[in-house]
Amino acid sequence: MGADLTPAPGPGKVSRRESCLFHVSNLKRTGMPPVSLSLSAGELVCLSGPSGAGKTLLLRALADLDVNQGEVSLDGVSREQLTPMAWRSQVGYLPAESRWWGSTVAEHFERVDTQQLSSLGFDTAVSDWRVERLSSGERQRLALARLLANRPRVLLLDEPTANLDPVNIHRAEQLVKDYLAEQRAACLWVTHTREQIARIADRELDLDVTGLHEGKAA
Amino acid sequence: MIHLTTLDLSLAALLVVALAMTSARIYPGLAKQLLVAALRTAIQLTLIGLVLKTLFANSSLLWVAMLSGVMLAVAGREVVVRQQRRFAGGWGYTIGMVSMFTSSFTVALFALIVVVGNEPWYQPQYAIPLLGMLLGNTMNGIALALDRLTQTAWDQRDTIEARLMLGHSTAQALSSIRQQVFRSGLIPIINAMAAAGIVSLPGMMTGQILAGAAPVEAVKYQIMIMFLIAGGAGFGTLAAVHLSVRRLFDERERLRLDRLQR
C-alpha cells in the first residue's frame, strides 16, 4: 500500500513507491479497535489520535508484548514463523519511557555505532557514562540509539522526541530518516505535534475509538 | 530424662502472653496473630504427638504415606498463602507441591534407604521427623523465593519488557532477578550452616541433647540433617523457580503478569 506523496525537501528522502514491508491485518486486542495497516520500505508514517484511543497498546501488540490476535507479517513472513526474540529484534519498539538495567551506558548496547551516537550529539565517552546520571533527554536519545543498534526493519516509536529540545529533536528526526533510507526500513511514529508531522511524515494515520483512519496528507 | 509437666509448659506460655499484651498497644492485630499462632503450635503439636504415638505402635507403609501426603498438602497451602502476589487459579499451589514433592521426598528416600539404612526403611520414627524437617525447610525456601520472584517481576515489569523489546530472551530479561530470587531461597540454610554450633545450637540437636542423647551422636545427626536440608531446599527452590518462570511467560515470550492474582 504505497502512499502517494509529494517529496519533501531535505536529504535522506527517497522514492517510497515500494512493495509492502510490514503488513497488519485485523489486529485485535483489548483496549483498542481492530486495526489493519501497511508500511512500505523507507516509509515514515506518523500515528496520532486522542489519548486513550490505544496508540501505545497498538505498538505493544505489534511488538507482540501483549496477547493479541490477527495477522502481522514482515517481508511476507508471518510473525508465527519467527521466534519471539527474532521478531522483536526486527520489529523494534521504543516505549515513551526508557528503562535501563546495567550501571553504564555501554552495557545496554549490542554494538556501539559511534557515527550514530555522534549524529545524536554524543561523543565516544558516552559509553562509560553512568546511567543514573543521564538526563531524561539523554536517556531518550540513547534509547533510540540502543534500538537502532539492533538494525530493526520496522521502528515503532512512541513519542521519541517528547523530552528533547529543538536541536536534539532535529537530530533525532534526521537520524531516523537517514536510517530508514539506508536500511530500507519502515517507521510508525507516534506524535501529537502538527509541526513535527508536517516535517517528517510521508503519511499520517489517526487512531480513535472507532478505528484507524488515513489522516490529512502531510 | 526430665519430664515436663503441664505447669512447666504454662509457665513458658506466660512469656508469649506477656509479649502479646505488650505488643497489643503498638499493633493489636499482630498481638492477635501471635496468640493464634501460639495456640496453633500447642494444638497441632499435641495432635501430631498422638498421631506419632499411634503410628510408632504399628509401623505400616500405608499410614506413613498418608501422613506424608497430609504434610505435603499443608506445606503446599502454606507456600501459597505466604505470597503477596500469587499465581491465579491452582498454579501457585501446584508449582509448590510439585517442587516440594520432587525434592523433599527424593532426599528423604535417599536419606532413609542409603544413609540411615533402617529395616524397614519407612520406619515412622525416622521417616516422619526427617520428612518433616525437610518439608519445613524446603517450604520456607520455596515460599521466600517465589514471593521474591512474583513481587520483583511485578515491580520491574517495565525493565523486563524493555529487554524483551530489544530482542533479549526471557532468561536474559530475568537474569539479575533470578540471581536475587535464588539467593533469597537459599540464604536461610546457608546462614544456618554458617552459624551452626558457634552462634546457634540447631533445634533438633538441642532437643536430642535435652532428651538425654550423647552430644557427639546428636551432632552427627545434625550434620546429616543440615546437608539433607540444603539439598532438599536448594533443589526444591530451583525447581519451583524454574516452573514459575515458565508460567510467568507464555509461548510468545510475553511477560504475563495477568496470570498473577491482583
pLDDT, position B82: 87
Helix (H, G, I), strand (E, B), or coil: what is residue A69? strand
CB-CB under 8 Å, A146 with B166: yes
The pLDDT value given to residue A218? 42
Give the residue-averaged pLDDT of B122-130.
Answer: 91
- Identify whether residues B230 and B109 lie together within a single domain: yes
Contact A150 B176 (CB under 8 A): no
Does residue A14 carry a pLDDT above 90? no
Mean pLDDT, chain B, rounded, equals: 93
Q: Give tens-digit pLDDT for A83-123.
A: 999 999 999 999 999 999 999 999 999 888 888 899 999 99
Q: In this predicted structure, what is the pLDDT of residue B2?
A: 76
**Which sequence spans correspond to the domains of chain A?**
20-214
Phi, psi at A142, each rounded to 5°: -70, -35
Altogether, the residues listed in chain B come to a count of 262
Nearest CA in chain B to A151: B166
**For B58-102, where are the alpha helices, taking DSSP H only?**
61-81, 91-100
In whole angstroms, what is the distance from residue B167 CA to residue A91 CA?
9
Helix ranges restricted to H, chain B: 6-26, 28-57, 61-81, 91-100, 106-110, 124-155, 157-165, 170-195, 203-210, 215-248
A64 to chain B nearest CA, in Å?
A: 7
Q: Residue B172: its pLDDT value, please?
A: 95
Give me the phi and psi of A211, to 5 degrees please: 145, -165
- Rounded to 5°, the CA angle A197-A172-A63 comes to 75
Residue A140 has pLDDT above 80, yes or no: yes
β partners of residue A32: A29
**With bands split at pLDDT 50, 70 and 90, how would you rate the model's confidence at B180?**
very high
Does the distance separating the beta carbons of A67 and B162 come in below 8 Å?
no
Residues 204-223 of B with CB under 8 A from A: none
- Which of A88, A95, A101 faces B167 most closely, judged by CB atoms? A88
* pLDDT above 50 (res A13): no
Whether A11 has a pLDDT exceeding 80, the answer reads no
Mean pLDDT of chain A: 90
Question: Is B253 an 8 Å CB contact of chain A?
Answer: yes
ipTM: 0.88
Mean pLDDT is highest, among A19-23, B49-53, B164-168, for B164-168
pLDDT, residue B59, reads 82
| Cα dihedral A138/A56/A218/A33 (nearest 10) | 180
Nearest CA in chain A to B169: A85
* Of A86, A88, A100, Cβ closest to residue B164: A88
A85 near B CB under 8 A: yes
Residue B248 touches chain A, beta carbons under 8 Å: no
Confidence at B204, pLDDT banded by 50, 70, 90 = confident
- Asked if residue B118 and residue B241 are part of one domain, the reply reads yes
Task: Among A30, A60, A65, A148, pick the best mutation site for testing chain B contact (most B Cβ within 10 A).
Answer: A65
Residue where a domain terminates, one of B57, B80, B102: B57
B259 touches chain A (CB under 8 A): no
What pLDDT score does B198 carry? Answer: 86
Å between B260 CA and nearest CA of chain A:
15
Side-chain-side CA neighbours of residue B96 (13 Å): 32
Question: Is the Cβ of B159 closer than 8 Å to some Cβ of chain A?
Answer: yes
B141 and B46 inside one domain:
no
Question: Is there a contact between B165 and A93 if contact means CB atoms under 8 Å apart?
Answer: yes
Instruction: Identify the pLDDT of residue B95.
Output: 96
Q: How far is B145 from chain A (nearest CA, A)?
A: 21
* Residue A217 to residue B126: CA distance in whole angstroms: 82
- Percentage with pLDDT > 70 across chain B: 100
CATH of domain A20-214: 3.40.50.300
Confidence of residue A2 (pLDDT cuts 50, 70, 90): very low
- Same-domain pairing of B104 and B116: yes
Sheet holding A154-158, edge to edge: A91-94, A154-158, A186-190, A44-48, A203-208, A211-214
- pLDDT above 50 (res A4): no
The domain in which residue B21 lies consists of 1-57
pLDDT tens for A186-206 read 999 999 999 999 999 999 999
- For residues B120-132, average pLDDT: 91
- Write out the DSSP string of A123-151: -GGGGG-BGGG--HHHHHHHHHHHHHTT-
Confidence band of A216 (pLDDT split at 50, 70, 90): low
Do B132 and B193 reside in the same domain of the chain? Answer: yes
Residue A36 φ then ψ, to 5°:
-130, 140
pLDDT more than 70, % of chain A: 90
Tell whether B162 lies on the interface with A, counting CB pairs under 8 A.
Answer: yes
Q: Residue A15's pLDDT band (boundaries 50, 70, 90)?
A: very low
d(CA A47, CA B175) in angstroms, rounded, equals: 35
The predicted pLDDT at position A1 comes to: 41
- Indicate if B17 and B78 belong to the same structural domain: no
- Considering CB atoms only, which of B159, B253, B254 is closest to A101? B159
Residue B7 has which C-alpha cell? 505447669
Residue of B nearest to A147 (CA): B166
Instruction: Clarify whether residues B16 and B123 are in a common domain.
Output: no
Other Cβ atoms within 10 Å of A194 Cβ, number: 12
Distance from CA of A146 to the nearest CA of B (A): 8
Closest Cβ opposite residue B166 in set A67, A97, A150: A150
Residue pointed to by grid coordinates 537517514 = A178
Q: Confirm or reject contact between A29 and chain B (CB < 8 A).
A: no
Q: Give the nearest chain A residue to B250 (CA atoms).
A: A67
Shared domain for B39 and B76, answered yes or no, is: no
Domain count, chain B: 2
CA A214 to each of CA A32, A218, B57: distance values in angstroms, whole numbers, following the listed order: 17, 11, 83
If asked whether residues B87 and B22 sit together in one domain, one would say no
Three state DSSP letters for chain A: CCCCCCCCCCCCCCCCCCCEEEEEEEEEECCEEEEEEEEECCCEEEEECCCCCCHHHHHHHHCCCCCCEEEEEECCEEHHHCCHHHHHHHEEEECCCCCCCCCECHHHCCCCCHHHHHHCCCCHHHHHCEHHHCCHHHHHHHHHHHHHCCCCCEEEEECCCCCCCHHHHHHHHHHHHHHHHHHCCEEEEECCCHHHHHHHCCEEEEEECCEEEECCCC
Instruction: Flag if B250 and A66 touch (Cβ within 8 Å).
Output: no
Looking at the DSSP bridge assignments, the partners of residue B6 are: none
What is the structure's pLDDT at B116? Answer: 87
Percentage of the residues of chain B whose pLDDT score is greater than 90: 77
Q: In the block, which residue shows the cell 553512568? A: A130
* The predicted structure's pLDDT at residue A105: 94
Q: Give per-residue pLDDT as tens, B59-71.
A: 889 999 999 999 9
**Same structural domain for residues B12 and B119?**
no
Nearest to B162 among A85, A98, A110 (CB): A98
**Predicted confidence (pLDDT) at residue A3 exceeds the cutoff of 80:** no
**Residue A18 scores a pLDDT above 60:** no
| Closest CB to A84 among B158, B176, B253 | B253
Residues B53 and B140 in one domain: no
Q: Kindly report the nearest CA distance between residue A160 and chain B, in angstroms.
A: 15
CA distance B29 to B8: 28
B74-86: per-residue pLDDT in tens?
A: 999 999 998 989 9
Averaged pLDDT, B133-146: 95
